[in-house]
Amino acid sequence: MHLFYQPDAPAISALTEDDSRHAVKTLRLGTGEEILVTNGQGKQFTCVITKADHRQCAFRITGEKTTPARPFSIRICVAPTKNLDRIEWFVEKAVELGIEQISFFFSQHSERRVLKTERIEKIAVSAMKQSLQSWMPQIDEAIPFSQLLAAIPAEGQRFIAHLPDDEVPEHLFRAARTNEVYTVLIGPEGDFSEPEIQQAVQAGFRMAVLGPSRLRTETAALAACQILNLLNQ
Amino acid sequence: MHLFYQPDAPAISALTEDDSRHAVKTLRLGTGEEILVTNGQGKQFTCVITKADHRQCAFRITGEKTTPARPFSIRICVAPTKNLDRIEWFVEKAVELGIEQISFFFSQHSERRVLKTERIEKIAVSAMKQSLQSWMPQIDEAIPFSQLLAAIPAEGQRFIAHLPDDEVPEHLFRAARTNEVYTVLIGPEGDFSEPEIQQAVQAGFRMAVLGPSRLRTETAALAACQILNLLNQ
């Protein structure tokens, strides 16, 4: 059965414009056919189409399933890559594997200085549907690094992925505890600047490594996400 | 310092044609400059350019570093995706994270029936250089599934990523032991056919799951690779 996303369900019982077109024009679904609708907040509704309108496909809810929030939460804060494909790939894969929040920031060494999150939202929605999940992660607009640091609550376990020259920090898999609120900072292609690292460490972020080899920005972001998911398996 | 790949080093002390052009034309490296050269078999040589020829850039070896093979090995066998980008992403990321062998196969439900590995080899080489590694994974041409099964040695731990309707197999992270020779089979977009699963199980492959949500082919392949890497951290 096809899964659609209506963040305002059950208050609104029609698909969004994009999903209506997809359901009626592409999938050719008609009145009386069953669909699944999630509100991205843990609810999945079984529904029957009552009006197969390609601008506003209406449905009636016939069943409901609740998926509780996970007992841990993963927030990855990442500097967007120069090549947008790479960050979009990270978002798609992270949503498939499980993530609660994705935040973007501009760092001193960031080549990219503009990021539109509209397309990234769409990719996240599509990955949520593809992997049949009922929770839509929060996607935050890109802000400067210092502003991000100031906005992150001082709770849970907070890490910065960084390998300094003079010591080898603990692997994230060993440094993290289970069932925590995790925040991980992942630097840009040119890595964090020294002042940025100092700023993060002073704010209570702990350095951690993600593996033995040098990883690209988006690979590091995904590795962090999967490490924390696995830890809580 | 720039890292280049010459599989026949130290027997041959010149870069390949591609790397020669890249070194001399793109990076504008000249005689007397230092470069790193790996043979993809664990050796990394420090070299000095002796002839900056863009068809055959010659070097003299001045130092050598050996990285031993890992005490475990990961072989992922995957049905190529319809969209080639997806399988290329998997190869790039798997090489960054660490993998010994990537094998492709055509399954009953495979939409893609042709796969050229030349471009995939290039992606693997570039990911190996990017992550500063000295081991180049083996990349195998795509063959039919039954032929692949017959060719996999009956050694180490062998898994098939599959979630049957009637039971939940163990998570790969718990089913796998450390320091093993691992082989994992990952099905196509339409999943393995029932006879293929039976065939694999009869050949000694054990079913395992990779996480709580439904993963795309290339995400599953990468998840399996990272699970086994993490297990051996």
Q: Is the pLDDT of residue A213 over 90?
A: no
pLDDT band at A172 (very low <50, low <70, confident <90, very high): very high
In angstroms, the Cα distances linking A57 to A19, A84, B201 are 8, 33, 45
CB within 8 Å of A58: residues ≥ 6 apart? A13, A14, A49, A50, A51
Q: Is the pLDDT of residue B125 over 90?
A: yes
pLDDT band at B41 (very low <50, low <70, confident <90, very high): very high
**CB distance from A63 to chain B under 8 Å?**
no
CB-based contact A223 B227, cutoff 8 Å: no
pLDDT value, residue B110: 86
In this prediction the pTM is: 0.92
**CB distance from B80 to chain A under 8 Å?**
no
| Percentage of chain A modeled with pLDDT above 70 | 100
Q: Is the pLDDT of residue A137 over 90?
A: yes
**Nearest of B218, B211, B164 to residue B187 by alpha carbon:** B218
Crossing angle of helices B84-97/A217-231, nearest 10°?
A: 80
The structure tokens listed for B131 are: 């992550």
Q: Is the pLDDT of residue B168 over 90?
A: no
**CB distance from B213 to chain A under 8 Å?**
yes
Q: Which residue type does B82 have?
A: K
Q: What is the largest CA-CA distance in chain A?
A: 66
Which of A93, A133, A214 has its CB closest to that of B131? A214
pLDDT band at A190 (very low <50, low <70, confident <90, very high): confident
CB atoms within 10 A of CB B197: 18
pLDDT value, residue A215: 93
What tens digit of pLDDT does each residue of B42-82 get? 999 999 999 999 999 999 999 999 999 999 999 999 999 99
pLDDT band at B173 (very low <50, low <70, confident <90, very high): very high
Q: Which residue does chain A place closest to B133, by CA atoms?
A: A213
pLDDT band at B111 (very low <50, low <70, confident <90, very high): confident
CB-based contact A211 B233, cutoff 8 Å: yes
| Percentage of chain A modeled with pLDDT above 90 | 90
pLDDT value, residue A136: 97
Compute φ and ψ for B156, nearest 5 degrees.
Answer: 65, -155
Interior angle at CA A94, CA A93 and CA A98, nearest 5: 120
Distance between CA atoms of residues B31 and B50, nearest Å: 5
pLDDT value, residue A113: 83
CB within 8 Å of A167: residues ≥ 6 apart? none
Distance between CA atoms of residues B189 and B161, nearest Å: 13
Mean pLDDT on A16-44 = 96
Chain B interface, best mutation among A213, A214, A222, A225, by max B CB count within 10 A: A213
The structure tokens listed for A100 are: 């609660």
| CB-CB neighbors (< 8 A) of B81 in chain A | none
Q: Is the pLDDT of residue A189 over 90?
A: no
Q: Is the pLDDT of residue B210 over 90?
A: yes
Q: Is the pLDDT of residue A153 over 90?
A: yes
pLDDT value, residue B55: 95
Q: Is the pLDDT of residue A120 over 90?
A: yes
The minimum CA-CA distance between A150 and chain B, rounded to whole Å, is: 32
Q: Is the pLDDT of residue B165 over 90?
A: no
| Percentage of chain B modeled with pLDDT above 90 | 89
Which of B130, B223, B229 has its CB closest to that of A216? B130
| CB-CB neighbors (< 8 A) of B130 in chain A | 214, 216
Q: Which residue does chain A place closest to B214, by CA atoms?
A: A131
Q: Which residue does chain A place closest to B88, by CA atoms?
A: A89
CB-based contact A211 B130, cutoff 8 Å: no
pLDDT band at B161 (very low <50, low <70, confident <90, very high): very high
pLDDT band at B212 (very low <50, low <70, confident <90, very high): confident
pLDDT value, residue A168: 87
Q: Is the pLDDT of residue A188 over 90?
A: yes
ipTM for this model: 0.89
**CB distance from A133 to chain B under 8 Å?**
yes
Which of B174, B213, B223 has its CB closest to that of A226? B223
CB-based contact B230 A227, cutoff 8 Å: yes
Q: Is the pLDDT of residue A166 over 90?
A: no
Q: Is the pLDDT of residue B1 over 90?
A: no
pLDDT band at B166 (very low <50, low <70, confident <90, very high): confident
* β-bridge mates for residue B58, sequence order: B14, B51
Give the start-end residues of each E strand in A86-211.
Answer: 101-106, 138-144, 157-161, 181-186, 206-208
Cα–chain center distance at A51? 32
Q: Are strands B43-51 and B34-38 parallel, antiparallel or unpaired?
A: antiparallel
Which of B97, B133, B233 has its CB closest to that of A171? B233
